[in-house]
Amino acid sequence: MYSYSAKRGLGHRSMIIAARVLLAAALPTAAAGEGVIDFESVPSGAPSLGLEITDQYWADFGVKFSISGSDEDTMRLGDYGGLREGWSSSYGYDSLRPEYDFGGYFLAHPDLGAVLLRDVLIEYDTPTEELGFHLMDIDSTEAWTITVYDASAGPIGQKIYDPSDGGDALPTHVTFTQDDTGGIPISGVRIHYSGDLPDAAVGFGFDDFTAYTIPEPATFALLGMGGLALLRRRRQTSA
């Protein structure tokens, strides 16, 4: 049987936990939650073939896309079943197998057909616990090296995806979790082509980008304050 002091301590802990849950529910979801960018909508505009994508998702999702070594060239939107903005498969240009439906638009690379494919960079406003996205049509001798970075731009995880992870007209699901980074939050991503197929023959398609943000320090402080306030109120009532 619990003693009086044990019961009282347990009650206090329960009240603090309840306060944290209630306060967390009242805070904006951007502070801790999941965001999905599927390119079927674009903040302050509408998706269209060839639309340049840079920082449109910064305000709503805390994410922006860029090309390494360039302040002018940008990622752009391609449309599924279009005119090879992304890749060529046995099912047609920019096409996946019929059982896969990713909507109308994907993120395309501006260097398609070029001698050198520059790296794709993803930057976060708020670090993320984990992330996921799809790369399309990794086949032949293509391969992509994905590196994630911490807030100091130090590498904290790396994976290589090749045809064994995907194939002709198939999406490849790229994921990084806390197990891959040793629990260190992710602040940036680099997508680098590392296959044997010449760059000029490589296709690229990127879609369904998902990030799970972690609470900011201010959020933790608010949660603690809410619990303490409720605890003080309970003590005053008991007195």
Spatial separation of the C-alpha atoms in residues 99 and 13, rounded to whole Å: 50
**Contact by Cβ (8 Å): 44, 56:** yes
**Contact by Cβ (8 Å): 145, 158:** yes
pLDDT per residue rounded down to tens, the chain (239 residues): 323 233 333 344 444 334 333 333 443 333 345 789 999 999 988 999 999 999 999 999 999 999 998 777 899 999 999 888 999 999 999 999 999 999 999 999 999 888 899 999 999 999 999 999 999 999 999 999 999 999 999 999 999 999 999 999 999 999 999 999 999 999 999 999 999 999 999 999 999 999 776 655 544 444 344 444 433 444 454 45
pTM of the model: 0.77
